[in-house]
Amino acid sequence: MTHWTLGIIGGSGLYAIDGLEDRREEQVETAWGAPSDTLVRGRIGKVQLVFLPRHGRGHRLSPTDVPYRANIAALKAAGCTDVLSFSACGSLQEPYAPSDFVAVDQFIDRTFARQKSFFGAGMVAHVSMAQPVCGRLSGLAADAVAAMGGTVHRGGTYLAMEGPQFSSLAESKLYRQWGCDVIGMTNMPEAKLAREAELPYATLAMVTDYDCWRAETEAVSVTNVLEIMHHNSALARRAIVQLAHTLNAAPRTPSPQGIESCLDFALITAPEARDPEYLDRLRVIAARAFGG
């Protein structure tokens, strides 16, 4: 596989991307329902891009209501080879300042009201999440932000909370004690589902505030978040174009984590015990692995 088809999941404030040639929209339905919005397809040079606003245009969907399975299934069905996620986040550490970007490399999942797997009764699988992001894609995305003049931290632990409320002071202090660097509401179960779909995934978390642990600043509010979010989103759009130009000159090679074949070591249900109807539902996600 030598060509890139990059799926872009836009977070809060990022509802479009710039510079697309041959732009078109596609309405998609998956075995897991409809995604958050229509897919926007196009290219920059030879690189194909497929854009999906996570919350829908106009920010219609709360973090809990985002159809994460449908979103990843839609990007997989669209032929995406890799997925880059953008999301707004709060900082839990002093060096991660508002308007900075963080190329996250670890997650702690504290969500509890979401469907977190494509697999289940009739076809069970357990993928490894020890290294939850594609190091190659994450590095290239971080390079693109830096090239556009942004401050980017290479590595950091993202705590995913359920929301939609922001943290209490006690929670914010607890997560700092755990060693978390940023906090958000949307990268889980998204990263887990991308891994199950054998899609190399990386995320750029865009810092909007210091959460509520920092006594010197006022507690997070939508008003002050929106101000920083506008700046971050403009930089993110430029970084996407820069990344596409980089990928045009870099033939695609497999993820160093072996993500494209991770299901070879994850399917546990014996072939004779697999539910044919469930396998059919999984066809877009996992047909390569079970020979369907």
> Which active-site residues does the annotation give?
209, 211
Phi, psi of 237 (to 5 degrees): -65, -40
Please state the length of the chain.
Answer: 292
Measuring CA to CA, which residue among 44, 106, 1 is closest to residue 237? Answer: 44
SS3 content of the chain, % helix, strand, coil (to 5): 30, 25, 45
Number of C-beta neighbours around residue 169 at 10 A: 12
Q: Which helix (H) or strand (E) holds 277?
A: helix 276-281
Supply 52's token pair: 């999906």
CB 86 within 8 A of CB 103: no
> What residues are paired with 48 via a beta bridge?
5, 43
d(CA 174, CA 90): 14
